[in-house]
Amino acid sequence: MTPAARRSTVVANESYGHNHFKLRFEWSGGFAAGQFFMLGELAKDSFILPRAFSAFRGDHNSVEVVYKVVGRGTHHLAEMRAGDDLLAWGPLGNGFRESTGPELLVAGGIGIAGLFARAEALARSGHRAALVFGGRTESDLVGRRDLDPIVSSATYFTEDGSFGEKGRVTNGLAETLKRGGFRSLAACGPAPMLDAVALIARDAGVRAQLSVEAPMACGMGVCLGCSVAVDGRYARACTEGPVFDAAYFGVGPR
């Protein structure tokens, strides 16, 4: 059953690095790592459609999302303050399957928002999790201080060389998988990155779960705006995803 939209309240909405924000809102019931929430304005005259946001972190009373201000919807969200009303529904979609670890987490830019809860879940279960995190520039690598304590190791890449190693997040990924003895991989980021990561994981014989980024208007499988091509057909990222096994993309382990 699809969760119904309901009124929530903003607990905090604070800067989380250049052009990024972390918003916490009241919510009971929790979520699974990899699931997402639809958030929007509660005003009756609002013309801004709700937006989908990965569940970043939370507890039994609230949920945090991390977002980058890129357009009208996220600009309005960034203006919200503690105590403001918020329209929310979730948790939505299918999250990550259980892992026996150790696992390599691969994030591209704001894709880290879809992997933080996964890193926490692995840490709680005692499984080793390492992180490879890339962005165009240092400002894209948000949340490093929160991430470092919960992963066994973290390697950062920037395309302009402003932080960490210069290059893309897929640089040396095959060697990292081999050297680290990882049994699984979880990735979230732009589609070209996910395609490359899936192929590298296949060649390394490592099972990969991919959390796709797709525009959504409803989050319930009605509008079809989040359809993605998977293995010769189209799937709705909001209901059949957003986490897919790489095999569904035709690039799973041989």
On whether residue 205 sits in a domain, the answer given is no
Q: CATH code at 83?
A: 2.40.30.10
- Name the residue with higher pLDDT: 107 or 181: 107
In the chain, the number of structural domains is 1
Round to whole Å and give the CA distance between 167 and 175.
Answer: 15
On whether residue 82 sits in a domain, the answer given is yes
Q: CB neighbours (10 Å) of residue 52?
A: 23
In the prediction, which pLDDT does 248 show? 64
On whether residue 231 sits in a domain, the answer given is no
On whether residue 59 sits in a domain, the answer given is yes
On whether residue 86 sits in a domain, the answer given is yes
On whether residue 214 sits in a domain, the answer given is no
* Torsional sign, CA 76, 77, 78, 83: positive
Tokens matching residue 132: 């490879």
> Which strands sit side by side in the sheet containing 103-108, from one edge to the other?
165-166, 153-158, 129-135, 103-108, 184-188, 207-211, 243-245
pLDDT, tens digit, 9 for 90 and up, residues 26-38: 999 889 999 999 9
Q: Is the pLDDT of residue 234 over 50?
A: yes
Q: Is the pLDDT of residue 7 over 50?
A: yes
pLDDT, tens digit, 9 for 90 and up, residues 106-151: 999 999 999 999 999 998 888 889 999 999 999 999 998 899 899 9
On whether residue 18 sits in a domain, the answer given is yes
On whether residue 85 sits in a domain, the answer given is yes
In the prediction, which pLDDT does 252 show? 43
With a CB cutoff of 8 Å and minimum separation 6, the contacts of 181 are: 102
With a CB cutoff of 8 Å and minimum separation 6, the contacts of 160 are: 136, 137, 166
The answer to whether the pTM exceeds 0.75 is: yes
CB 76 within 8 A of CB 40: no
Residue-number span of the structural domain to which 86 is assigned: 6-92
Please compute the mean of the pLDDT values over residues 238-250 and round it to a whole number.
Answer: 78
